[in-house]
């Protein structure tokens, strides 16, 4: 892999499954134009229960630090379970399975990720102050 591709791969690796990066680097012309294919995918949204009310009483730097710590763990779970991270929307994560690379049993992979996220979220909360302990994950 040349230097340019290594740099691109390094930047994308944080948010994109390595299988997708390999496919993009192997076929860059396929992804240079907007468009798409019709295919079945599993869409995934994970929201944090109680976050909006709690965030109203937090200072911006604390809020950003909290969200980043949560995003880091949950995004890794998506990628580890063959998913494609799409975006953050406030306290929500959107991901999907089955695109841009085919994923066999995409719905099962999404369910496994949701279950793993709920466990990871409970583990994360153990180190938080009491006022943050009331937050809950709502994978769906």
Compute the mean pLDDT over every residue in the chain, rounded to the nearest whole number: 84
- For residue 102, what pLDDT is reported? 81
Burial class (CB in 10 A: 0-12, 13-18, 19+), 34: exposed
Mean pLDDT of the 68-79 span: 92
The rounded distance, in Å, linking the Cα atoms of 46 and 31 is 27
Same domain, 81 and 45: yes
Same domain, 48 and 113: yes
Maximum mean pLDDT: which of 5-14, 25-34, 52-61: 52-61
Same domain, 51 and 104: yes
Same domain, 63 and 80: yes
Judged by DSSP in three states, 98 sits in coil
| Phi-psi region at 20: left, alpha or beta (left = phi > 0; alpha = psi -120 to 50) | alpha
Containing 46, the helix (H) or strand (E) segment is strand 42-49
For 75, phi then psi, to 5°, come to -65, -40
126 to each of 29, 131, 135, how far by Cα in Å? 46, 12, 11
- For residue 6, what pLDDT is reported? 74
Same domain, 94 and 45: yes
Same domain, 67 and 90: yes
If one counts the domains in the chain, the total is 2
Query: Residue 139 — very low, low, confident or very high, per pLDDT cuts 50/70/90?
Result: low
Residue 79 has pLDDT above 80, yes or no: yes
Mean pLDDT of the 26-47 span: 81
Note down the domain range covering 22: 1-35
Residue 138 has pLDDT above 70, yes or no: no
- For residue 99, what pLDDT is reported? 83
Mean pLDDT of the 28-37 span: 73
Query: Contact, 78 vs 23, CB < 8 A?
Result: no
Query: Contact, 89 vs 21, CB < 8 A?
Result: no
Q: Where are the alpha helices (DSSP H) in 47-100?
A: 51-55, 60-80
Query: Residue 103 — very low, low, confident or very high, per pLDDT cuts 50/70/90?
Result: confident
Q: Is the pTM of this model over 0.95?
A: no
């Amino acid at each position: 892999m040349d230097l340019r591709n290594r740099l691109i791969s390094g930047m994308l690796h944080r948010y994109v499954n390595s299988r997708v990066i390999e496919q993009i680097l192997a076929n860059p012309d396929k992804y240079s134009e907007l468009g798409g294919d019709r295919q079945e995918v599993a869409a995934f949204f994970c929201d944090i229960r109680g976050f909006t009310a709690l965030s109203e009483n937090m200072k911006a730097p604390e809020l950003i630090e909290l969200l980043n710590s949560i995003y880091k763990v949950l995004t890794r779970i998506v990628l580890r379970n063959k998913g494609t991270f799409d975006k953050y929307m406030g306290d929500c994560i959107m991901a999907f399975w089955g695109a841009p690379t085919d994923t066999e049993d995409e719905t099962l992979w999404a369910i496994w990720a949701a279950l793993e996220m709920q466990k990871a979220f409970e583990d994360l909360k153990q180190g938080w102050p009491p006022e943050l302990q009331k937050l809950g994950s709502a994978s769906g």
